[in-house]
Amino acid sequence: MKIALAQLNYHIGNFESNTKKIIEHIALAKADGADLVVFAELAVCGYPPRDFLEFEEFISLCEDAAKEIAAHCIGIACIVGLPVKNEQIAGKDLYNAAYFIEDGEVKAIAKKALLPNYDVFDEYRYFEPATQFSCIDFKGTKIALTICEDLWNINNNPLYVSNPMDVLITENPDVMINIAASPFSYQHDDERLAVLSGNAKKYRLPLLYVNQVGSQTEIIFDGGSMVFDKEGNLLDEMHYFKEHLRVYELLDHKIQGYTPIIHKDASDVAQIHDALVLGITDYFSKSGFSKAVLGLSGGIDSAIVCALACRALGPENVMAVLMPSKYSSDHSIKDALDLVENFGCKHEIISIAAAADAFDSMMAGAFDGLPFNLTEENIQARSRGIVVMAMSNKFGYILLNTSNKSECAVGYGTLYGDMCGAIGVIGDVYKTQIYELAHYINKDREVIPENTIVKPPSAELRPGQKDSDSLPDYDILDAILYQFIELKKSSSAIIALGYEEALVKRIMKMVNAAEFKRYQTPPILRVSPKAFGMGRRMPIVGKYLA
C-alpha cells in the first residue's frame, strides 16, 4: 500500500482555502499512485481554532468541508483532522477527531484521547477525551491511527494515566499513523524525534507521522513530518518550514526503499531564523496585509527585525523609519542608513526632536522645578510610537515591534512607545541570541553593519546612555532569565548555581513587576520552549516570587 503524507500550511477558519488545498493534494497524491493520503490534526479548520469552536456554525462549516473533501476521495482514501460533535449529552460537546474517508464516505472516525492543557495548549477547554479505540482496516492493512498527543505519554514522567496505543496494539495493527499539530520551538525537534522513535520501538511497528507547517499568529509549526521503521530508526523526514508531499510504500510491515538516516539537526539560530521569517510571512498573508513599517534606530534589535522583514515580505514592502532625537549619535543614523542600502528597503528620516521639545514645553508648568528623568525619556519613546503609528495609519503598514526577550522580561521598554506594534518579531529571542542571529544573517555577506553588532546597546534617550546603566551584563542577565523563565527555577535554586543573591532577586523582581507591561504588548512569535504570552500565564498582582 502506498501512503502519502501531506504536510500543509492551513489558515484557521478559512474553509475555502483549506478545503481547496486538501482537495488539490488528494489529486496530487492520487497522481503519484498513493492509495491513502494523510493530512494533519484539525486540518479542515486549522489549529488552534480556540473559541471559534464554541460557534455552532463553525462546526457546521467543518462538516460541510469534510463532505466536499469526501466527494474527491474516489480511487484514493484520506485521513483528515477536524472537530466532530459528541453525541452524548454528558461531557464536552466536541471531539478532536480524524475522518478516514474511502469511496466518498466516512468509513471510520478516530478520536483524540490525550488532550494537552499546558503551555500554549488548551484542548481540554473544548474537547472530550476519547475512551474507545479501534484500528482501521484498509486494503488488507490494519492502521493504528492516533492524533498528536496520543503518542506523547511515553517518558519518565507521564502526564496521563493511559495510552491509546496500548489498546490499539491488541488488534495487531500493521502500521501506526499519527496526525499532528506540533508547535515549533528550537528545542522541540529532538524531543519530538525521541518520542516518535520510542513509540515505533515500543510497539514494534513502522510509524508515519505528519505535522502541519505554517504560523498561526504567535504559534509556528515547522513541519518536519517523519517516517520510522519498527526498530525506531528514522527513515525519512520531510522539509522544515515548507509544505511538502511525499509518498511511501508499505509492504510486509516495512517502508520500502528507505534505510536509516540521521536527523537533520539544524542549529538553534538557523531554526529561529527560518521560524521568524515564516512567522512574519504568514502573519501578513493570513491577515490580508503586505507592507510593514518599523522604527530603525541603528541598533541591533531593529536591524534584525528589518532584515527578517525584508526576507519575509521583500524589501520593497518594508518601510524603515529613522527617528533621531537630539541625543542620537551620528553613527547610529549612518548604521541605519547602511542597513537600508544593503537591503534596499524604503525609508524615511523623521526627527522627533521638535515633538519632544513641544511636550517638554507643554508639561513645563506641571513639571516645574523637577529634574529630567525617565519621564522625559519615555516621552521621546512615545513620540516615536506616534510617528510609526501615523505611518501605519496613513499608508496601511503593519507595525513590527522590535523588543527582544531580555527587554520584555525585565520591562526595559516604554509602553505605547517602543513596545507598540501588531506583532512582536523577536520578543522570544534573548539579547545574546540576537547577536547570534545577526552573525547568521551575515553568514554569506555583511548586510547588518558590523558597527551595529559591536557597539554597546543604547536607547539613546539621554546623553551617553547605555543599556548597561540599567541592566546587568546580557550574558549574565540572559542566563538567569533562562533559568527562571524556561526552566522555572526558584531564586534559591538559581543562587545555588553560583549567581549573586542580590542580583538574582533583583532580576526576578524586575520580571514580575513588568507583568503588567507584557499584558499590553503585541503577540510574540514563539520560538522557545517558554514564550511570553498564552504559554506563560502569570497574575499581575501576585505576591509569590515578588
- Are 77 and 131 within 8 A, CB to CB? no
Q: Residue 448 corresponds to which cell in the numbers above?
A: 547588518
Instruction: Specify whether 112 is catalytic.
Output: yes
- Side-chain half-sphere of 440: how many Cα atoms within 13 Å? 17
The grid coordinates listed for 527 are 520560538
Give 388: exposed, middle or buried? Use CB within 10 Å, 0-12, 13-18, 19+. buried
Contacts of 467 (CB under 8 A, 6+ apart): 412, 456, 457, 458, 459, 474
Give the separation between CA 517 and CA 506, rounded to whole angstroms.
Answer: 18
- Distances in Å between the alpha carbon of 382 and those of 102, 302, 418, 420? 59, 16, 7, 9
Q: Which of 117, 272, 148, 276 is nearest to 211 (CA)?
A: 148
User: Is 105 labeled as catalytic in the residue annotation?
Assistant: no
Are 69 and 19 spatial neighbours (Cβ–Cβ below 8 Å)?
A: yes
Select which of 148, 306, 310, 408 is catalytic.
Answer: 148
Contact assessment for residue 145 and residue 177, using Cβ atoms and an 8 Å cutoff? yes
Say which residues have a Cβ less than 8 Å from residue 426's Cβ, sequence separation at least 6: 276, 301, 304, 305, 308, 402, 403, 404, 405, 434, 437, 525
Catalytic residue among 21, 111, 112, 291: 112
Whether 523 and 218 have beta carbons less than 8 Å apart is answered as yes
* C-alpha cell read off for 366: 506641571
Could you give the CA distance from residue 66 to residue 101 in angstroms, rounded to a whole number? 9
* Given the residues 2, 41, 45, 345, the one annotated as active site: 41
148 is an active site residue: yes
- Residue-wise DSSP of 95-148: EEEEEEEETTEEEEEEE------STT--GGGTBPPP-----EEETTEEEEEEEG
CA distance linking residue 347 with residue 333, whole number of Å: 12
- Residue 63 in 3-state DSSP? helix
Decide if 289 contacts 359 (C-beta within 8 A).
no
CA distance between the termini of the chain: 60
- Catalytic site positions: 41, 112, 148
